[in-house]
Structure 1
């Protein structure tokens, strides 16, 4: 029987929603249901500038880089033993094809039941009767769009899975899944809209099949049934390039979406996540992207996680606005926090990218950060800048992991006595902007973390040692304008 060795467990890919009969037919006709779709163009910026980059597809890259293979042979799916490093395509849309099934698409619940059965079947195919292999067996679930809801239904609905079933899942990675439903023109899709199963994305219906309370305002919780730290959400921020249905969903979803799923609805509560300027699907889609693949393999197989949070200490006002405040006028403002993370050597991808020009920057009000009483908060709502997964095995020289963080802080604008202040202040002015080069070197006590502010210094220097308090690494940041903050880094080593 196959040797089961962490973290290279079998991968099950669960495709997304196929709306029309034509889309279902296209899905069924594909052996890999989109997981083999590559790309040859990389869109770098919102203005449409394009350069060539060949991305072979997640499936091909997993085969080339990680030694995985499919489970097809002689024109059929293998029914006997399969390797542990297998990619299995969950073909839950086959039943909707009249040649292969009854012509009816499975409900989310039925698809989740089928996923449960597939995992059990795969365990038998990989392990046979080997007691040690059976004890070590797990799978990784990788899903696009509605496929992520099928995975969650399996993991969360007590009528479908047992704790033993859920324990067979090591990690879950979702691309552009509407974890909190789909909103169009500001409204959740109606539950009565059964045409083409669009009501699968209605929050009341979702609460039912996800096993959440019926009165849940949000349905992006795993309900305590699966560890959110083992659940990664890859979020697209490019709404412009989603061309499905002649662009109608893109127009209705609008900015701050991937063209179908709004950014605020695309992640699970408490789960790590990354953002990329990619659309829901298509030539610039999330699945057929280098950014998506790099996050996928680092999350599944990497051994280091770094989380960055910015704790803000001072948000200065421009002199003219400060004078108005000192004179007793009411001043209000909110702030954008932009963060882009990339490992050293990444010439054509980032691990996460949140920017104002793609409507994906983190936004916080002054009250949420520094005037907690007015915001009715007990603690500041400090911006979570990134969760990055890294792989020390990819370090080519020495043992130090190197990555960069581009960080910028700006304001949405100032209002004085409820009127936008434009008399002297320049719109879009930054309070802080710099690129940090971060180095993490393993030591007997954990890690030594050093940093350089490299907008005006070369990144090749040794850098300054970050302060360590026994739990977090701290980097003090400030600007001549008076901005002050502390970058809090948490490093967690995972076992291979």
Structure 2
């Protein structure tokens, strides 16, 4: 039967694409404009004037998704209302029509209700596979996070019912939520769990874009004051959910698996239009003994707040909202689609490091390590760290005998367990450390089925790694922006072919990247970290390779783990 629980390891039909729900963020005290916005901001994109081809114009989440061939629009299948409505019957509709979908009566009325005629047009014959839904919570009343969560939980149940009515496999919905929308998703997960449902079966994966999971740093206004201010009182419950002293985020693992939530963190506070918010984030750093110049936010939400302890995360050099932001940038779309549909999970580790220069004469130097990652064919980063983003790993001291990075910040997950307003912000540590000293640098997703224009359709994948090490003098005598090392590497995966096992090659340039066979690359191989091409070697479940230059040497290990059609690791 269509409504029986599915084996999580059972492959999905090739054509199956999970329904996708888009959830907007906070709209402010007056949400009149938001209620008039058909696609809730997800129809806004960005023009990248200096780029060409597919990298030139990004149409926005909705149009790009519809043009991808994966999705079709489910607008108007569900209506959102500020009061209960009764079922609508289309003219000429017969209750005895054998083609009519037999919706449960309670799903046809209420404030989040199915429109039978629209549902028949969209779902009949195709089911819910590949449908795209925009959740319009600002059409509901009252304006509370719990009410919005209740409506989202109902929408998910409606989509499941649509799958059952069309005798279709239902493997859960995917959700992409911007800002406060992520808090709405959390409320829905909690309510589904409390109602006896299994959120992990109703929802496949979740992407949050700049969600203040741990609150907003300068949101210290007491609730009584919020309710007393004219116009603001309507949004008091929403604003109270940004409390930096809250710890509700620690309950998320009780409702949903953390490894199926990707938190996308913005770093470009400079381009955020609301400068007052940006300055407030600077001031909030004073309590953490950070300089006033530091911000570490997307302009509104602190980087440390947009993450969940134990959940995968990535950084993009975008601001919270507006043009070319977390919700309107190509990066956000590419990252989300790879997480939802990727064929492989990729993990990058730092196994060994050696700093060879940069130590201050007075012993006051501290060091930082940052990485940027781009996939070939898409001129947009999947991961961004940099001095200007204020999010590199560190600061570290160095062991003067070995040059190894030591005495850095505490483990990231440990620091993220604290309330946002706890003293100190030391959330630039490694996400994970495994014995003996294996440090997680990046965890991301790739889609081998996405083939860049003009490249062979042979399953080859290429990532560009931009690796930098910086140093600054803590005593104020030396320089604050020394570059110890910076270099780009191209990691090329070749699929198993012609009896050869899958292999990984690391290039220092693009000269030989067109060679998609191990035999063709063999004449160019070297054994040094500076060689034009080196072959990575199997080590501890991954492929190990060396990088280095005059100021820094390191051993990195990269693993590409296949995932099945349900997004489970194929191991």
> TM bucket by the smaller chain?
0.7 to 0.9
1:183 CA drift (Å): 0.5
Counterpart contact for 1:4–1:84, Cα < 8 Å: no
One of 538, 545, 565 as aligned partner of 1:475: 545
One of 141, 149, 171 as aligned partner of 1:137: 171
Report whether the alignment pairs 1:64 with 2:32: no
- Matched ranges for 1:180-259 at <5 A: 180-184=214-218, 194=226, 195=233, 196-197=235-236, 198-204=239-245, 206-207=246-247, 210=248, 219=249, 222-244=252-274, 247-254=275-282, 255-259=295-299
Counterpart in 2 of 1:85? 130
CA shift in 2, pair 1:288/1:488, >3 Å: same
1:182 CA drift (Å): 0.8
Structure 2 unaligned runs (5+)? 3-11, 80-113, 227-232, 283-294, 412-432, 516-520, 522-532, 566-571
Distance in 2, matches of 1:78 and 1:485, equals 59
- Matched ranges for 1:425-436 at <5 A: 427-436=480-489
Counterpart contact for 2:153–2:189, Cα < 8 Å: no
> Under a length normalisation based on structure 1, what TM-score does the superposition of the two structures give?
0.80
One of 91, 112, 126 as aligned partner of 2:163: 126
CA shift in 2, pair 1:266/1:467, >3 Å: same
Name the Cα RMSD after superposition: 3.3
Distance in 1, matches of 2:495 and 2:309, equals 30
Counterpart in 1 of 2:25? 16
CA shift in 2, pair 1:320/1:277, >3 Å: closer
Counterpart contact for 2:174–2:204, Cα < 8 Å: yes
Distance in 2, matches of 1:381 and 1:428, equals 27
1:288 CA drift (Å): 1.0
- Specify the SS of the correspondent of 2:388: helix
- Specify the SS of the correspondent of 1:310: strand
Distance in 2, matches of 1:363 and 1:71, equals 46
- Specify the SS of the correspondent of 1:250: helix
> Under a length normalisation based on structure 2, what TM-score does the superposition of the two structures give?
0.70
1:129 CA drift (Å): 6.5
Which has the greater radius of gyration? 2
CA shift in 2, pair 1:164/1:143, >3 Å: same
Deviations 1:432-472 (A, max 9, x none): 211110011233897421111239x7655733221212412
CA shift in 2, pair 1:7/1:281, >3 Å: farther
- Matched ranges for 1:372-383 at <5 A: none
More strand by share: 1
Distance in 1, matches of 2:392 and 2:482, equals 15
CA shift in 2, pair 1:36/1:441, >3 Å: same
Counterpart in 1 of 2:311? 271
Structure 1 unaligned runs (5+)? 45-51, 97-103, 211-218, 325-330
Distance in 2, matches of 1:249 and 1:6, equals 45
Counterpart contact for 2:212–2:242, Cα < 8 Å: yes
1:66 CA drift (Å): 3.0
Distance in 1, matches of 2:25 and 2:18, equals 22
1:190 CA drift (Å): 5.0
- Matched ranges for 1:328-367 at <5 A: 331-347=363-379, 349-366=380-397
Deviations 1:167-225 (A, max 9, x none): 211000111111111102xx766565544231111145x43xx4xxxxxxxx3663343
Distance in 2, matches of 1:374 and 1:407, equals 20
Counterpart contact for 2:199–2:255, Cα < 8 Å: no
Deviations 1:357-388 (A, max 9, x none): 23233333227974459989997886643333
